[in-house]
Structure 1
């Protein structure tokens, strides 16, 4: 059985894995932020979520390993962005756009320079 959305199809098993990954509130919120904001540094997410750096890095690793985010090193800082090339990016983007804006968390952004 397949779910059809926006001209692409996703197998039920793939959808279940993706939805399980997105079932975590922190990861879901991170992705929502990344479609509003071009990219964020680990230290910004630490501030936004008031969480430890290892906890944030673990969430980002899971998103990166799944292909949902890309990472880009700038000096000593690692920046993350939503991976528009992800196989089901349209599907994920459609889901994320239905969630409330996370603009209040973006107000907690800091400079990593």
Structure 2
């Protein structure tokens, strides 16, 4: 019984985290490819600290991974996370985010941090 409660609590925590529209969209983008913070700032038209805060929450929950390249940090979906099957299922119910990545590339802003 206690194990079941722990599992429910874990799932509820992930659902609460991705219940935020920005974080859910970030996860959808990261399903396609890794992104630098600067790219996400352009996509969402939000401040870098705000995007970094969303990414920190996702990273702390183990849903995303980060990779440093010089002074830049690139984020990707953590497919090894125990919550990945839930995330994968949820992403099937949101629109594909490729259009946002294509627009970023068309504007010449795909990787503005190299």
If the TM-score is normalised by the length of the shorter chain, which range does it land in? 0.7 to 0.9
The structure carrying a bigger helix percent of its residues is: 2
Match of 1:78 among 61, 73, 84: 73
Which residue in 2 is equivalent to 1:52?
Answer: 47
List 4+ stretches of structure 1 deviating above 4 A. Answer: none
Q: TM-score, normalised by structure 1?
A: 0.86
Match of 1:104 among 83, 87, 99: 99
Which residue in 2 is equivalent to 1:5?
Answer: none
The structure carrying a bigger strand percent of its residues is: 1
Q: TM-score, normalised by structure 2?
A: 0.86
Kindly indicate whether the alpha-carbon contact (under 8 Å) linking 1:32 and 1:97 is maintained by their aligned counterparts in 2. Answer: no
Match of 1:23 among 7, 15, 19: 19
Secondary structure, aligned partner of 1:108: helix
Secondary structure, aligned partner of 1:72: strand
User: What's the RMSD between the two structures over aligned residues?
Assistant: 1.5
- Structure 2 runs not aligned, ≥5 long: none
CA distance in 2, matches of 1:29, 1:91: 15
- Structure 1 runs not aligned, ≥5 long: 3-9
